[in-house]
Amino acid sequence: MLKRLLIILFILALGLLSYSVFVENIFSPRLSPKDSAKISLNDLDITVEYNRPSKRDREVFGALVPFDEVWRTGANEATTFETNKSLMIDGIELRKGKYTIWTVPMKDSWKVMFNSKQYEWGVNEKMEPMWDPNYDALEIIVPAQQLDITVERFTIAFDNKTGHLKLTMAWDNTFIEVPIDIVE
């Protein structure tokens, strides 16, 4: 009995090692690590789960992330946005729930879409976004701002410094803000 158990454990360890060497190194850190942005204000809770690709000396917007094409807004799995209260985003109501965020970076502005469909991954095997526009709950256009600094890793955060809540995204030398108001 013990001999069989040791053989099974050996085979499992060998399989894991083979997978790590030939498919994906599961022991090394991800190139685009998972992260989250969260904010709690009174009884409002919002969470964004996303993956953070790095610039790594590459030209980002207009090259790695083409202008005027749908982007998964991060890397790997689709970026999710979850709110426990209905919100007003740039004057349009977004009901409480869980959404995926998709963007279309443009030279001077970005289109931001909150999509009600949940996707396991951000792109298909052809590296095309898995976004289905039929599930867009909300779509807005926000101005793109140029930063004086370079943001190495794609970053999503919340800004409430002035009492006006904003969802922010920054990468390379580009920054956008999505205005958020709580539906009373």
Q: Can you give the pLDDT at residue 37?
A: 96
With 80 as the cut, is the pLDDT of residue 26 above it? no
Q: What mean pLDDT is reported for the chain? A: 89
Q: Which residues lie below 8 Å from residue 121, measured CB to CB, with a gap of 6+?
A: 76, 77, 78, 130
Q: What is the 3-state secondary structure (H, E, C) of 129-179?
A: ECCCHHHEEEEEEEECEEEEEEEEEEEEEEECCCCCCEEEEEEEEEEEEEE
| Average pLDDT over every residue of 23-49 | 81
Element of type H or E holding 181 = strand 166-182
Model-level pTM?
0.81
Alpha carbons 163 and 101: distance in angstroms, whole number:
23
| % of the chain surpassing 90 pLDDT | 67
Beta strands 166-182 and 80-83: pairing type?
unpaired
Interval 10-23: pLDDT, tens: 888 887 777 766 66
Q: Can you give the pLDDT at residue 20?
A: 65
| Average pLDDT over every residue of 62-86 | 94
Q: Give the confidence band of 29 by pLDDT, cuts at 50, 70, 90.
A: low
| Average pLDDT over every residue of 41-70 | 94
Interval 118-164: pLDDT, tens: 988 777 777 778 889 999 999 999 999 999 999 999 999 999 988 89
Q: Can you give the pLDDT at residue 23?
A: 61
Q: Give the confidence band of 8 by pLDDT, cuts at 50, 70, 90.
A: confident
